[in-house]
Structure 1
Amino acid sequence: ILMEDLRAEHAALHNSTGLTNGTIVSEIWGGDRRLSLFSYTIETINMLLLPMIQTKKEALGSMGNDAPLACLSTFQPLPYDYFKQLFAQVTNPPIDPFREKVVMSLMCPIGPEANLLEPSEKQHRGWKCKEIDITFDAQEGPKGLSKTLDRICEEACKAAQDGYQFIVLSDRRAGGTRIPVSTLLALGATHHFLIEARQRMKVGLVLETAEAREVHHMCVLLGYGADAICPYLVFEIARALKNEGVLDASYTDEILYKNYSDAMERGLAKVMAKMGISTLQSYKGAQIFEAVGLAEEVVDKCFRGTPSRIGGVTFEILAKEAYERHYLSYGTHTADMLVLRNPGNYHWRSGGEKHINDPLSIANLQEAAVNKSTSAYDRFRESTMESVKACSLRGQLELVTSENPIDISLVEPASEIVKRFATGAMSFGSISLEAHTTLAIAMNKVGGKSNTGEGGENADRYLNQDPDHNKRSCHQTGCQWTFWSDKFLPRSCR
């Protein structure tokens, strides 16, 4: 039996729906090599794109991400995955993007930025557009990445000097003989190069990309200077899903694209609100990110000014990963590579990405809890430590022993160290009553500091004579919409 026979049999069985056990398996996902080239997976389509197109919203997920950091991944992550969005660290959001929608705006002018004090219709007539290819010949190998970035920057600068008002960075030529430079790398390098050449205000940067498809991708691109983004491969996928019966056949192309756009706008507003930014014009180019695992040479060229505290992958590594993605998509293999891979970024899969909470660890923990088994707990601890080592920075730390240990009398006792512990001002309401009470009691017992937060606390807690309850380091009053009792205020003013 040949693989072609299996595909033909599958097509005959599932031609009407394109679905098998709730997942998409079709000629599109098994035949369009661009999907693998740009790191699309089964999860990308099932868990991210489909919900956005069907419901106009991002799919909901649980808090926390136990997958490896991009710098520890073994599956060629995209550059976007190295960035973490900064946010205002409070338990209540700076802006509620849904209830306070009236103060938010995603409208943003694009193009050259002329003198605002001298508006003129001539500023917006006769604009020219220059398209720049951001791919390079596969025969150049990984070394082609840096040279291509330099070429893109030079072409963009020359276009600005020649009077072009729009520059389109496009990866449409990516294919069997050409490797795409990540749109994020091309954008960042071009954006900062034009700033240095004092040409950035003269042009708008438009991206024609198959790579970007998630809200996080769009946020990073906008944060590093993109003026407009066209995720053309997402639109092609949406149309293919409709043609195969996965999406409602009554959806027109316009509805498909509008649904995705609405979901993306909703996601952008949510992310902006976490930092208290209400307009896209303020968010664009603000670089409100931290890089985790990128080398200094990458940050200096493409993301200047972005914190990257631990260093990490270089252009050489990024180029090798781009080359590996291309080889996996278009190279000659004895194995079947037409089926879209699923490394399990969200759901654990055997042989896929590591996860801190893997089935083995959970099984051992359940056995330890149910049977009170010490050996099961030891296995849980061992497997969890291995997972943490594979997924997180703290897992990379190792204890260094000294041949000349210091005297124990010089070590600060634990009873003094814990006095510097503090829970922060987490308001009752943002966390449950049980959590709010437990944190306060814990800090009281160890001698640390607790804070009621702006929401205060119930009278039966601060009037309780039990020392574990009534000793509070900070009773906070600061909200203009909160009312306080005459018994609480004296404690707040101590």
Structure 2
Amino acid sequence: FKTGAMSYGSISKEAHETLAIAMNRIGGKSNTGEGGEDPERYVPEPNGDSKNSAIKQVASGRFGVTSNYLVNARELQIKMAQGAKPGEGGQLPGAKVYPPIAKVRHSTPGVGLISPPPHHDIYSIEDLAELIHDLKNSNTQARISVKLVAEVGVGTIAAGVAKAKADVVLISGHDGGTGASPQTSIKHAGIPWELGLAETHQTLLLNDLRSRIVVETDGQLKTGRDVVIAALLGAEEFGFATAPLVSLGCIMMRVCHLNTCPVGVATQNPELRKNFTGDPAHAVNFMRFIAEEAREIMASLGFRSIEEMVGRTDVLESTRAVDHWKTKGLDLSAILYQPDVPETVGRHQQIPQDHGLAQALDITTLLPLCAPALERGEPVRETLPIRNINRVTGTILGSEVTRRYGAAGLPEDTIRLTFRGSAGQSFGAFLPPGITLALEGDANDYVGKGLSGGKLIVSPPAGSTFVPSENIIIGNVALYGATGGEAYFGGVAGERFCVRNSGAIAVAEGVGDHGCEYMTGGRAVILGQTGRNFAAGMSGGIAYVLDVDGDFPRRCNTQMADLEALDDLSEREEVRQMIRRHAEYTGSRRALDVLERWDEVAAKFVKVLPRDYKRMLQAIRRVEESGLSGEEALLAAFEENAKDVSRVGGG
């Protein structure tokens, strides 16, 4: 049994933690949702309870996805879509982004957050396989699951998910979904889990893939009878969300998106949260009753285990309730169809997926090499060759640092590895503090994905004759979802550079289209041309673009951001220091030229500053000048900003 993916932000801290405690007590799994999780919850309570959610979700927004978050999971779930609103992204209004939520999501209080509709590192089934591989490297002990929505053709997609080496596939029905989703989506998108589940199970059987993957379903499961029917249609695991929330006091007011939930379940308002009366025992009792009812029905059918029941549609029949004149044209035989496959074809998961970790460069070379740093914190320096078949380099090493030393990692540059050659995809993904990876050569897509405090340097090989500032040195979607650290690229980056960056400092000598898309934090310095649609959806952080030709405004999306001159002297110095470090690390001729002519060139920098972010920074500055500091200042600024926004919006 599992609870559904509801983020901290969509529901209150109390509701989120109560569900986690309840599921940990009974050996089930709770799900973080896509909003990250407070690291304090990873430590068990004195009484033995744990608030740590076993399933950590990785959605398109990558909120709160750090190395520490990934290492503390038993299952990592890639959210491809949501039952209530398939094909849509998520949105958390600025009024719900209270300071504690912003901290967990590595964003700015009071600034609305957008989850893009697609994952920007998934445009094909091969890309999904890459993300599954990346996450398995980030936590070798966790299962990797993929959440799909029940729809026509979902079976074919599930077969692709199984081939992409996922351990679990979740089929989510259209009935589920938080009340915070748009009403049109809740009522009119997706199909019932029964249809999606039956199609998935049958397709996996026909392709002899069913034995390699666990199938799970959710979407308004409420009774033991629902569980048994789901098992007979092909599921081994079952998710509940609405019903456990009701057991904790939810009264289905359907105002989840308004921050006005009167019982403290789906609100961040401190006064309303005091009304929360839920207790872990309530959810535990609910789950026990579900299990007992399921056991009784199983006994009446003669089954001893869930595995025996999986796919046994022969014991299901359509009831008289369906025998109605309105349903005369319905043919349910497709749901109950039993594929004609040999006895040797497994009908439930029996064979573990081979994720190919034994051949990873981290396992064969980096972990033994860095043992002195891991065990005793001693510095390690080494130069190694790398080829494009070496994917996700440094991630298993980084996860081991995080597992041993927590989010703080090791002191800067404790491990410094220099690679020569062409790096494969996801070079330096989820790298924690204390590790520096330098690459003399070039790198494929997804460099520094989820960077968590580490340092990345990519520079052209010694003796190269091309002009770095005119040539691509790293692929697309670099620093996707980065939460901290530094990255210096001595050449041009591909498309969607710094997409959803929320804390890393990055310098590149040019970028492709859609640079700094959906960025919510951090700093980016671009010492050259940008592609079109720069700063689309950018709601935080600051980008500094060197606009020598004066045509950057035409290529920048100013829907959410303003363009300003770099006039502030302290800010100019901050940018100069970033460029100085870039020159020092990469030997960039372009950076050295900018530094030599700094007084002349500084005037050509354009500062890209999101409007919501600017308003919040000004509010923080005002309350700090009044004598407040730290979290008090953030909360006061958040409340002041919320009043300003409601006044402007007529709220």
TM-score where L is the length of structure 1: 0.30
The one of the two structures with greater contact order (alpha-carbon pairs below 8 A, sep at least 6) is 1
Q: Whose radius of gyration is greater, 1 or 2? A: 1
Where is the helix percentage greater, Structure 1 or Structure 2? Answer: 1
TM-score where L is the length of structure 2: 0.23
